[in-house]
Structure 1
């Protein structure tokens, strides 16, 4: 069963059009990789889904309910948890307070987050702005999980992190997949992204140009739409 479905999304920033027809879907328990070069519409697609930049055209639904016209907090309440690019933790709150601020009733609790990311248990009383970049990223993922989402969206979750921290983040994504959480993920490291993805969607200039299984991602597609 499809959880998130988007078809023909067109999104603008003022008078400038950024998306010209994005089609994607995420099924229950599925990991979908949203791919494309920088500036091709990946983050705008995520912002459109989350109500931060509402699309002006196209259809967008989640768990059978239309997302068109919903404010971001209403989208979140339906069960979409966002880990935004750049982390954006609350700097003047502690780790514990950041997690509490996002908490909704469900399976994800402080204890479970600290089990997934033991480093956060060690930093529980520290303010977010005193954490390393990797620890802040763990906190951003943990905060999104505290909303107890049906779909987790990760926008460049490992960008700029040290290799050992990147491995921690990818390990957590694999664990979440094993638990059956649906995930939409944007990341540039295809060596880590493709093994965890069930399907891939490729964007070019704000349009979906290819979708399919990771093993079907040919060298031609990679060179044409993903190469630097």
Structure 2
């Protein structure tokens, strides 16, 4: 069953067009990788889907509801949870307060988040601003999970993190996948991203130029669309 369907998405920043007809879809329980070089439209696509940027044309359907042009808080209430680039935890709230601030429903609890990320349990009374970058990323993921999302969106899941922390994040993503969580993930570390993804979409200059299984993304295609 299709959970998210994006067709012909066009988005502008003022007079400058950033997306030129992006197509994307995600099934229930599927992990989809959104890929492309820097500046090709990945974050703009996510921002357009969740309503932070208003697209000018196209269609977005989530869980059978047309969400094109809908306000971000309404989209979030439908079950779309975002882990934004840059994490954006509430700096003056503790770890526990950050998590409880977004709690909705009963599937995800503070205890379940701590089971996924034990470090957060150890630091439950620390202010978010005192955490390391990796711990803040764990907190941002946990905070999104506390909304009990039907779709979890990870924008730059492990960017700038130490290798040991990246492995903790990827381990958590694999556990979420095994539990049936639908995930849209952006990341540049192909060695970790491709094994966890069911399908990949690649953007180039604001257009979808590839869709398929990770195995179909050959070294030649990786070099063409993802190489520096």
TM-score normalised to structure 1 length: 0.99
Which residue number corresponds to residue 110 of structure 2?
A: 110
- Superposed CA deviations along residues 7-49 of structure 1, whole A, max 9, x for unmatched, are 1000011111110010000000000000000000000000001
- Superposed CA deviations along residues 111-133 of structure 1, whole A, max 9, x for unmatched, are 00011000000000000000011
Q: Which SS does the other structure have where 1:153 is aligned?
A: strand
CA distance in 2 between partners of 1:161 and 1:223 (Å):
24
Deviation at 1:93, TM superposition (A): 0.4
CA RMSD of aligned residues (A): 0.6
Q: 5 Å matches for 1:195-214? A: 195-214=195-214
Which residue number corresponds to residue 76 of structure 2?
A: 76
Q: Which SS does the other structure have where 1:24 is aligned?
A: strand
Deviation at 1:107, TM superposition (A): 0.6
Q: 5 Å matches for 1:51-90? A: 51-90=51-90
Q: Stretches of 4+ moved more than 6 A in 1?
A: none
Deviation at 1:106, TM superposition (A): 2.3
Which residue number corresponds to residue 136 of structure 1?
A: 136
Deviation at 1:89, TM superposition (A): 0.2
CA distance in 2 between partners of 1:20 and 1:71 (Å):
22
- Superposed CA deviations along residues 186-205 of structure 1, whole A, max 9, x for unmatched, are 00000000000000000000
Which residue number corresponds to residue 188 of structure 1?
A: 188
Q: Which SS does the other structure have where 1:23 is aligned?
A: strand
User: Which stretches in structure 2 are left out of the alignment for 5+ residues?
Assistant: none
Q: Which SS does the other structure have where 1:59 is aligned?
A: strand
Which residue number corresponds to residue 27 of structure 1?
A: 27
Deviation at 1:218, TM superposition (A): 1.4
CA distance in 1 between partners of 2:107 and 2:17 (Å):
40
User: Which stretches in structure 1 are left out of the alignment for 5+ residues?
Assistant: none
Deviation at 1:219, TM superposition (A): 2.1
CA distance in 2 between partners of 1:54 and 1:181 (Å):
27
CA distance in 2 between partners of 1:54 and 1:172 (Å):
32
CA distance in 1 between partners of 2:10 and 2:80 (Å):
20
Which residue number corresponds to residue 121 of structure 1?
A: 121
CA distance in 1 between partners of 2:154 and 2:54 (Å):
19
TM-score normalised to structure 2 length: 0.99
- Superposed CA deviations along residues 127-150 of structure 1, whole A, max 9, x for unmatched, are 000001110000000000000000
